[in-house]
Structure 1
């Protein structure tokens, strides 16, 4: 899915902002369907499908924390993704666990 970039001034008229926009609906719908399908093997098991705007958000959060050496597709970024996917706030991205198992309604 394509990420659109929308540069604009903040409402205060002084600060310039870059907004990243992506239609995440197809990804989230795919995740919902995939959670219902049994995965027969642990080898090559699909764990999650994450929209690009979420990955960019996580990267930005880390940079704001001072971790400016973090790079996408690095071992460190992979570890960050695995930690985030254990957070209940991001379980909607997971496809390897049924909804009841993660406390959804």
Structure 2
């Protein structure tokens, strides 16, 4: 993931830009969905690009949850909810596309 800092012309305000080539991750997810997982122990459920995790964290900060930290149990609950949402189904690796409702 690349991080770029942009300083506003006023010299006080700054914006932070996060970028990442997510195509390899999304292709890996697509291939992983075609493979059968034989065990429920240690199943690979999803591969989430870092820029998506940062986006989700930023969304929560915008809602006022500024004490939230990535990889905390609270954030893990948010990730679990997001992965149940059909909008984010392409991040899942444990269900065929038809099962998550986006094909």
Q: Same fold, TM exceeding 0.5?
A: yes
Equivalent position of 1:102 in the other structure: 100
Distance 2:6 2:77 in 1: 33
The aligned counterpart of 1:84 is 82
- Unaligned runs of 5+ residues in structure 1 are none
Q: TM-score, normalised by structure 1?
A: 0.89
SS in 2 for 1:17: strand
Root mean square deviation, CA, Å: 1.4
How many residue pairs match? The answer is 101
| SS at structure 2 position matched to 1:42 | coil
Matched, 1:20 2:21: no
- 2:71 match: 73
Per-residue deviation, 1:104 = 2.4
Structure 2: 5+ residue runs without aligned partners?
Answer: none
Cα deviation code 1:1-36 (max 9, x no counterpart): xx11122357xx566321100000110000000000
2:32 to 17, 31, 34: 34
Match of 1:93 in 2: 91
Structure 2 length as normaliser, TM-score? 0.91
